[in-house]
Amino acid sequence: MATTPRPIERMRARFGAELFAKVAGKDGQAARTRVHETPGPRWFPQGSAIRRVHGDASMWVGGLRALLLQSLHPLAMAGVAGHSGYRGDPWGRLERTSTFLAFTTFGTADDAQAMIDRVRAVHDRVKGKAPDGRTYEASDPHLLRWVHIAEADSFLTAHQHFGARPLDPARADEYVAQVARVAVALGATGVPTTTAELADCLESYRPELMASPAAIDTATFLLHEPPLPAAAKVPYSLLAAGSVALLPQWAQTELHLGGGFNSRIGPWGGALATKAIRWGLSASLPHYPTL
């Protein structure tokens, strides 16, 4: 005889389902089934570092950190402001990003390549002029490398602080090398393949980085004006504080985010938010977070 789930378990399952729907969209379950149940070779094997990192709840903190860090490149930010619709359709952008990560990390090799081809076709159409008069193209290998290293550093940093199973140094290098494969497929060049190379690459971009008005607007929107119901805003503020606390000090200063609430709350707020996300999603997604 089947037992009725306890109220706390029903709440947990509902919470997890709502979280998944937010990040994956209305077709999320169908996409998840295709990603994990379609037979065929994968780019990355079971147990690999990229699967551990990208399958963990710490990605929520890392993803927000990546957006904040990426915004500091004026040309990359001009492309986002002009073409991504991050204010008008932030959840759509999140869905597209999460779907890309799912297919390239966990999907079949054919589906991963198809996703790469789709994104490259979009990048070919994204071009324009920044407010300072410089032109940009999303397919520019130099800009692609910046977007990539900001993501790789953010996902890895969040995982090492808040992940269920942080990586040892060798596995961290493995992660950087594996995500490099995706970046090269997208058209980036000179992509780092170790954590030491990643740190050096980030440092090499410092002279190009600054908080443009669009970057400040993005940070304000992401941290203080997210389109969320009132009940979700306090938990989100903990996640956001965790993301800010993990930014390099120079990036916090550039975006006027240093000190105060973020420095006091960030370390434990990010940990608490990640544990809550993991608690919810593990009730609704099989084998989460060890996908």
pLDDT at 240 over 70: yes
User: What is the length of the chain?
Assistant: 291
- What's the mean pLDDT in 131-145? 96
Mean pLDDT of the chain: 89
92: pLDDT strictly greater than 80: no
* pLDDT winner (highest mean) among 19-33, 111-125, 210-224, 271-285: 111-125
Residue 239: which pLDDT band, with cuts at 50, 70 and 90? very high
- Output 202 or 90, whichever has higher pLDDT: 202
Q: Other C-beta atoms within 10 Å of 47: how many?
A: 8
Please indicate whether residue 137 or residue 288 has the higher confidence score (pLDDT): 137
Torsion from C-alpha of 154, 157, 160, 165, nearest 10 degrees: 10
* pLDDT, mean of residues 192-210: 98
- Residue 287 pLDDT > 60, yes or no? no
The angle subtended at Cα 25 by Cα 21 and Cα 29, nearest 5°, is 70
- Residue 1 pLDDT grade (very low, low, confident, very high; cuts 50, 70, 90): very low
Residue 94 has pLDDT above 50, yes or no: yes
Of 8-17, 74-83, 197-206, 276-285, the range with the lowest mean pLDDT is: 8-17
Q: How many whole angstroms from its chain centre is CA 95?
A: 11
Average pLDDT, integer, range 110-128: 97
